[in-house]
Amino acid sequence: MRMTPQRKLIIDILKSTKSHPDALWIYQNAIKKMPRMGLGTVYRTLEQLEREGEIKRIDFKGIAHYDANVNVHPHLLCSKCGKIVDISDSYDFDLRNFDLKGFKIESINLDIIGICPECQSKKGEN
Amino acid sequence: MRMTPQRKLIIDILKSTKSHPDALWIYQNAIKKMPRMGLGTVYRTLEQLEREGEIKRIDFKGIAHYDANVNVHPHLLCSKCGKIVDISDSYDFDLRNFDLKGFKIESINLDIIGICPECQSKKGEN
DNA sequence: GTACATGCAAAATTTTTGCAAAACA
DNA sequence: TGTTTTGCAAAAATTTTGCATGTAC
Q: Say which nucleotide is closest to residue A46, CA to C1' distance.
A: C15
Task: Using alpha carbons, select from A53, A5, A52 the residue that is nearest to residue A30.
Answer: A5
Q: Is the CB of A31 under 7 A from strand D?
A: no
Distance A53 CA to C13 C1' (A): 27
Section B96-113 average pLDDT: 95
Write down the pLDDT at residue A97.
85
Least confident of A62-71, A107-116, B78-87, B114-123: B114-123
pLDDT of res. A88: 85
Instruction: For residue A36, give how far its alpha carbon lies from the nearest alpha carbon of chain B (Å).
Output: 27
- Say whether pLDDT at B101 is over 80: yes
Sequence-distant (≥ 6) Cβ neighbours of residue A16 within 8 angstroms: none
The residues of chain A that CATH labels 1.10.10.10 are 5-67
The pLDDT score that the predictor gives to residue B123 is 58
Contact A62 B64 (CB under 8 A): yes
List C-alpha distances in Å: B104 to A24, A91, A103, A121: 28, 21, 33, 11
- CA–CA distance, B11 with A26 (Å, rounded to integer): 38
- Alpha-carbon distance B59 to nearest alpha carbon in chain A (angstroms): 5
Are A83 and B101 a contacting pair, CB within 8 Å? Answer: no
**Confidence class of residue A125 from pLDDT cuts 50, 70 and 90?**
very low
pTM of the model: 0.94
Predicted pLDDT of residue A108? 96
**Nearest nt to B46, CA vs C1'?**
D15
Per-residue confidence band for A126, with pLDDT thresholds at 50, 70 and 90: very low
Residue B66: helix, strand or coil by DSSP? strand
Per mean pLDDT, which range of A40-54, A111-125, B77-91 is the poorest?
A111-125
Distance A2 CA to D2 C1' (A): 16
Between residues B90 and A39, the one the model is more confident about: A39
Rounded CA-CA distance B34/B65 in Å is: 21
Model pLDDT for residues B15-66, shown as the tens digit of each residue:
999 999 999 999 999 999 999 999 999 999 999 999 999 999 999 999 999 9
Calculate the average pLDDT of chain A. 94
Which positions ≥6 away from B75 have C-beta within 8 Å?
A: B20, B58, B84, B85, B86, B87, B109, B110, B111, B112
* pLDDT given at position B125: 46
Chain-wide mean pLDDT for chain B? Answer: 94
Mean pLDDT lowest among A11-25, B31-45, B111-125:
B111-125
Say if the Cβ atoms of A113 and B108 lie within 8 Å: yes
A79, A101, A110 ranked by CB distance to B106: nearest: A79
A108 vs B contacts (CB less than 8 Å): 110-113
B126 pLDDT more than 80: no
Q: Is the CB of A29 under 7 A from strand D?
A: no
Indicate if the pLDDT at residue A124 is higher than 80.
Answer: no
pLDDT tens for each residue of A81-112: 999 999 988 888 889 989 999 999 999 999 99
Whether A99 and B87 lie within 8 Å, measured CB to CB: yes
Domain A5-67, CATH: 1.10.10.10
Residue A41 has pLDDT above 70, yes or no: yes
What distance in Å separates residue A100's CA from the closest CA in chain B?
7
- Dihedral of CA atoms B104, B108, B114, B116 in degrees, nearest 10, equals -150
Q: Tell if B22 CB is < 7 Å from nucleic strand D.
A: yes
Are A75 and A58 in contact, with CB atoms under 8 Å apart?
yes
Residues in chain B: 126
Q: Which of B61, B78, B106 has the CB atom closest to A114's CB atom? A: B106
